[in-house]
Amino acid sequence: MTLEVPAHSANGRGKPASRIRQKNEEAILKAAENEFARHGFKGTSMNTIALNAGLPKANLHYYFTNKLGLYIAVLSNIIELWDSTFNHLTAADDPAQALTRYIRAKMEFSRRHPQASRIFAMEIISGGGCLNEYFSQDYRLWFQGRAAVFQAWIDAGKMAQVDPVHLIFLLWGSTQHYADFATQICQVTGRARLTKQDFDEASDNLIRIILRGCGLEPLA
């Protein structure tokens, strides 16, 4: 399946939106995120999204012509929010500081936007057909650029010899786990829900484990 992301999705592309338009788009994306996370793509209706966004269905179709386009916009927004924390990574950065910032940022996203993470996980598990266009050559080049920064740190002796690709996968998986599998974590630990303190403690532990695995000393 090859699909284009709608021009007026909340990803910064296209003409600047008016204040009302931006507010409506944000309300639609939030309502859609909630519905897709609860019911999946097939179980979600545009009518329910419109009701939860507080907009007439006709207005919803003005911004997103169909459910698939809205679903792709939600997925694209999720990925871009995640990846934005990695966009400005350079070989000149201190790896301990950069990895610490990234882990804390991703964990905070998991705390604040657990449903968004689950939508992405469900899409990937089902084959990721709606993301074929997004995971294009440009995205692969972006990923290779991130891995190249890690390799530059290794070559410069700033961190231990690890596989940059698998390190990135580890960073993604470990930080998103606390959103995608929160129910399992709560069942195992006997918690009713995960609190900010739980996420902070998890972040501290991930930082220690990952940084030391990379031959880095965690920051004080």
DSSP labels for 5-43?
A: PPTTSSSS-SSPPPHHHHHHHHHHHHHHHHHHHHHTTTT
| 8 A C-beta contact, residue 150 and residue 164 | yes
Does domain 19-74 sit in CATH 3.90.1660.10? no
Region(s) of the chain under CATH 1.10.357.10: 85-213
Question: Cβ contacts of residue 54 below 8 Å, gap of 6+?
Answer: 27
Give the pLDDT of residue 15: 52
pLDDT tens-digit readout, 3-61? 333 444 444 444 555 888 888 998 999 999 999 988 889 999 999 999 999 999 888 98
pTM: 0.82
pLDDT in tens, 157-213: 999 999 999 999 999 999 999 999 999 999 999 999 999 999 999 999 999 999 999
- Where in the chain is CATH 1.10.10.60? 19-74
Q: Which CATH number fits domain 85-213: 3.40.190.10, 1.10.357.10, 3.90.850.10, 3.30.1370.140?
A: 1.10.357.10
- Residue 144's CB: how many other CB atoms inside 10 A? 12
pLDDT at 2: 32
